[in-house]
Amino acid sequence: MNSDLEPAKNRVFALVLSHLLAGLTGIIGVFNWLEIRELQRLVVVFSGISVWAWRAIEIFTFIIVGIIWLCLVYFSQDYYEKGFWKKKMLIRFSKIIGIQVMILLLVYFAAHLIRTRYGF
């Protein structure tokens, strides 16, 4: 009887754990999203683009980065779930989070560089 329940328990555990890790990935992705938005604003302000185009650029950037963020969350959940069965979930989670943290730091330092260069 226990042998019948084991695969179901493992499946549920894999789904719950992959969704939790995808949620953490999504939270860090929101911070990336906000930092990219801030960098985009700084680039637009100091690039000489017409003031009338600023709002359209901001909206399109927000939508494009939002779609990328949503795709990342869906992809990461599936990637983590498949990693569970291959016993590589932690490695896969570390790769995705590592990439996200690198992007976050690069965007943050690029925005900081623009602020310091233009005295903002």
pLDDT at 60: 94
Which two three-digit tokens encode residue 96?
Answer: 């995705």
Could you give the CA distance from residue 33 to residue 40 in angstroms, rounded to a whole number?
10
Q: Greatest CA span in the chain, whole angstroms?
A: 71
Q: Is the confidence at residue 7, as pLDDT, over 90?
A: no
Instruction: Kindly report the pTM of this predicted structure.
Output: 0.84
What is the rounded average pLDDT for all residues in the chain?
91
Q: Is the confidence at residue 1, as pLDDT, over 60?
A: no
56-96 pLDDT, tens per residue? Answer: 999 999 999 999 999 999 999 999 999 999 999 999 999 99
Coil, strand, or helix at residue 49? coil
